[in-house]
Amino acid sequence: MAKQNSLFKVLGTLDDVTFYERQGVHLIKKKTRLSGDRIKNDPAFERTQETFREFGTTNQIARMVRNAFPGLIKKVGDKRLPQRLTRLLFQIRKFDVTNPRGSRSAVIALETAGGQEALTGFNFNNITPLKQALPLNPVVDTAANTITINGLNPKEMLRVPPLSSHFKLTGYWSRIDFLKDDYQSIRMSLDPMPIEDTILDLVLSPTESLTGDGRDLVVLMIEFMIEDAGVLYPLKDKSHNAAAIVSVS
């Protein structure tokens, strides 16, 4: 593809040349002779059709995962979260070795150790990864539904945004039934804590339990606050907040 260097940038198609913009860069490419209908139906494009089918399924699965964490994405998600999650799940689908190409699914792949490991660690905020904001590995007890963080020194270990005085930890435990397009979600939260030079052993525990079938995804989030006249306020810049999937089971 070629770049447009003229003073006036053009968008659209002229004869066999298409002018378009991608991420702020104006580009030129030769117009394709292939129609969408041919790509979808011509046996010569069977491999492409298989990829399209798997991508469509993956996109639905990614939507279910996002929906299973209500309220979280507004606090911490970056603008490209849907694309990043879909791309990762599209890669994870390859762990499905029971279905043929064109029918592979991330749902089946997440039944494997490799698929679960690949999804663990996914960050909802790509600007500030959780391990950068909170450089300790949480311990997830899937039997008790608890998240434990031992030996945390907030003053020394946390990556604290300017003016922040407090931090808050919240856990989200969701059980997703991909076959029924349904989920259950419980929220575990600790009261805001001052950013001080002290050692903390913290446990996030649920007040209720999950029932039914599905895949369990656990997310840990840290958000920062500022104290003003004795009142705590969340930072307006949410890019410092971090959240990641810490367990898949």
- What pLDDT score was predicted for residue 26? 65
Please compute the mean of the pLDDT values over residues 200-221 and round it to a whole number: 93
Q: Give the residue ranges of DSSP H helices in the chain.
A: 36-41, 46-67, 72-76, 81-92, 106-109, 113-119, 130-133, 154-157
Phi–psi pair at 244, nearest 5 degrees: -150, 155
- Listed in sequence order, the residues at least 6 apart from 63 whose beta carbon sits closer than 8 Å to its beta carbon are 82
Q: Span 130-248: which CATH code?
A: 2.60.40
| Radius of gyration of the CA atoms of the chain, in A | 23
For the chain, give every residue range classified as CATH 2.60.40.
130-248
Please compute the mean of the pLDDT values over residues 87-99 and round it to a whole number: 96
> Token pair for residue 9?
């940038």
Task: For the chain, give the number of residues.
Answer: 249
- What pLDDT score was predicted for residue 47? 72
How far from each other are the two terminal CA atoms of the chain, in whole angstroms? Answer: 44
Tens-place pLDDT, residues 106-132: 999 999 999 999 999 999 999 999 999
Residue type, 55: F
